[in-house]
Amino acid sequence: MMELASAWGDLKSRHSGESFYAFGIYCNDVASWFNVIACSVEALDSVAAKHAKSEQSSSNELHSASLRWSLADSPLMGECEGLLPTSQAIRDAEPDPYEEADGSEEAIEAFFESAFQALLELDRMGIFGTSADRDKLLLSIWINDESDEAKILSARRLNSEEQVLRYSNELASGYAAFKQLMSNENKSSA
């Protein structure tokens, strides 16, 4: 738990003045790899502008919407790697999730539950802010390649219904923006 608090503090310190909208854990479905993940409006604007420029698109807004919840595209992703060394060492000592070893399923379930509990406890302690500041930040555990429905269920465990509804709408808007960008690209290449 304290490792997560330290990671949050480190990222906030390195990016003071930025408006974070997401924080949590990004991993695969068996937690054989995981990292802290954080996203800020300023980092999103930066990557959206780069995409718009490289694709000679005039719409930073479409790029911003399509990339907002594409966590692997977060410019902060590289900074997040390695911020949980103790947690990773503990997970590495558990049974291999890709082998049908005794205890591997239980270890995976325990990892996810302890991660949720750590985020909940840190949130109760006010680590992620209070009131309006906290309402702007979505906490979650994101699993690579999970469905939007699964993302929403995960977010529901750690956030208010208002935050979850906003997240759900942003996921839908992001998909619509992505489709529009692909349509624009197909038109320009024809």
CA atoms within 13 A on the CB side of 39: 25
pLDDT at 190 over 70: no
Q: Which helix (H) or strand (E) holds 47?
A: helix 41-54
pLDDT band with cut points at 50, 70 and 90 for residue 136: very high
Enumerate the domain spans of the chain: 2-184
CA distance 159 to 165: 10
Of the chain, the percentage scoring pLDDT greater than 90 comes to 55
Please give the mean pLDDT across all residues of the chain.
88
Cβ atoms of 7 and 84 closer than 8 Å: yes
Please give the structure tokens belonging to residue 34.
């995981």
How much is the pTM? Answer: 0.89
* 28-85 confidence digits (pLDDT tens): 898 888 889 999 999 999 999 888 887 766 678 888 999 999 998 888 888 878 777 7
Residue 58, both tokens: 């005039």
36 phi-psi bin (left φ>0, alpha ψ -120 to 50, beta other) = beta
Instruction: Give the rounded distance of the alpha carbon of 149 from its chain centre.
Output: 15
Q: Please, is 59 exposed, middle or buried when counting C-beta atoms within 10 Å of its C-beta (0-12, 13-18, 19+)?
A: middle
pLDDT at 102 over 80: no
